[in-house]
């Protein structure tokens, strides 16, 4: 990379000239190294396959399900059969159809909530770590206040106040999940802003937003991405717990959590396993797959990993 100051009086910022060939070659080499490291985690590769299947099923649910998920048939709590592969629930709705549609809810909650929390936490962490001083103190004290409350208890209280529903659950989990991201980003920014290339950017007169989002943020993407994978899994579990307790997604909209709610009955738990085993298995498969992917990303993006 060659840094040359433009001598034109009308030019506010220095001109940066990149060696495109060497940059592209370096990116290709880094991508190959990342893929090689990631593929060493066989469970993560399987996890990507599982999540891809779930995502495709959720996307094409209207064309895959044998019945409308809210259609009531004359078979009540019937066992799995050729007509209903996973049986029916207490009011005659096809369990397989509801299970596939429920994947939409769980993935929407997981992705939507972590996007909100990651954006808020990243911005606050960047500002807090870069500026320091009283700005850092205010943001970190607010973060401490949020983190001082038991997380699940705070979610339950807020959910009971604002009411259940898919949109509310995504917003609740998103707006209550940012403190961990903010602390993570702030810690990285504190060390990155002391590096030579950031100091050089300041000396060369780059504006603060450009330094934050074009020079510092790209070097914090890896830990944010790793955290986001565990955050998606956590949000899916939180939605399932809230729906199980009646504070999440409400029937007749199917979600894995409210499908599990039928297992509160001892009769269902012991004699009708087709009502609760499939949604329970789907939650386990989805969360495990995401966690395996997160572990592989951590190792693949670790600069100290030479393998």
pLDDT of residue 305: 61
**Residue 247 lies in domain:** 33-67+94-300
The model's pLDDT over 92-133, given as tens digits with 9 standing for 90+, comes to 898 999 999 999 998 999 999 999 999 999 999 999 999 988
Q: Is residue 85 part of a domain?
A: no
Task: Find out whether 44 and 35 touch, Cβ atoms under 8 Å.
Answer: no
Work out the mean pLDDT of the chain and round it to a whole number.
83
Q: Is residue 217 part of a domain?
A: yes
Cα(90)–Cα(234) distance, integer angstroms: 29
Mean pLDDT of 186-205: 85
- Bigger pLDDT: 267 vs 140: 140
80: DSSP letter? P
Q: Is residue 20 part of a domain?
A: no
Cα(4)–Cα(18) distance, integer angstroms: 11
Q: Is residue 86 part of a domain?
A: no
Q: Is residue 283 part of a domain?
A: yes
Task: Find out whether 184 and 121 touch, Cβ atoms under 8 Å.
Answer: yes
Residue 244 confidence class, pLDDT cut points 50, 70, 90 = confident
Both tokens of 96, joined, read: 């397989």
Return the percentage of the chain with pLDDT > 70, whole number.
Answer: 89
Residue 13 confidence class, pLDDT cut points 50, 70, 90 = very low
Q: Is residue 73 part of a domain?
A: no
Which stretches within the chain are classed as H helix? 20-39, 42-59, 61-64, 95-131, 133-148, 151-162, 166-176, 178-192, 196-203, 208-210, 221-244, 256-260, 266-271, 277-300
Number of domains in the chain: 1
Q: Is residue 3 part of a domain?
A: no
Q: What is the CATH number of the domain that holds 109?
A: 1.10.3720.10
User: HEC states along 219-249?
Assistant: HCHHHHHHHHHHHHHHHHHHHHHHHHCCCCC
Query: Which of 229-268 are b and which e, b meaning 16 or more Cβ less than 10 Å from the residue's Cβ?
Result: bbbbbbbbbbbbbbbbbebbbebebbbbbbbbbbbeeeeb
Both tokens of 80, joined, read: 């799995």
- pTM, entire model: 0.81
Q: Is residue 1 part of a domain?
A: no
Both tokens of 56, joined, read: 């495709």
Residue 304 confidence class, pLDDT cut points 50, 70, 90 = low
């Amino acid at each position: 990379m060659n840094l040359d100051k433009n001598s034109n009086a009308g030019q506010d910022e220095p001109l940066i000239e990149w060696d495109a060939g060497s940059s592209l070659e370096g990116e290709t080499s880094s991508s190959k190294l990342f893929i090689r490291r990631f593929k060493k985690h066989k469970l993560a590769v399987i996890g990507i396959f599982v999540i891809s299947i779930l995502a495709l099923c959720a996307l094409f649910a209207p064309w895959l399900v044998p019945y409308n998920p809210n259609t009531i048939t004359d078979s009540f709590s019937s066992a799995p059969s050729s007509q209903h592969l996973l049986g029916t629930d207490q009011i005659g709705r096809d369990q397989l159809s509801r299970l596939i549609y429920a994947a939409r809810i769980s993935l929407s909650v997981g992705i939507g909530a972590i996007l909100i929390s990651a954006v808020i936490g990243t911005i606050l962490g960047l500002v807090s770590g870069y500026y320091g001083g009283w700005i850092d103190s205010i943001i970190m004290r607010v973060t401490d206040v949020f983190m001082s409350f038991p997380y699940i208890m705070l979610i339950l209280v807020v959910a009971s106040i604002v009411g259940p529903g898919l949109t509310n659950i995504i917003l609740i989990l998103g707006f209550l999940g940012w403190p961990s991201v903010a602390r993570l980003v702030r810690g990285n920014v504190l060390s990155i802003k002391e590096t030579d290339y950031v100091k050089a950017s300041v000396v060369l007169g780059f504006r603060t937003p450009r330094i934050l989002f074009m020079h510092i943020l790209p070097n914090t993407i890896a830990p944010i991405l790793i955290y986001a994978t565990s955050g998606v899994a956590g949000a899916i579990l939180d939605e399932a717990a809230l729906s199980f307790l009646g504070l999440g997604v409400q029937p007749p909209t199917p979600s894995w959590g409210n499908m599990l709610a039928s297992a509160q009955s001892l009769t269902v738990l012991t004699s009708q396993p087709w009502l609760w085993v499939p949604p329970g298995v789907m939650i386990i498969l989805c969360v495990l797959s995401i966690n395996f992917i997160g572990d592989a990303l951590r190792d693949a993006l670790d600069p100290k990993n030479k393998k």
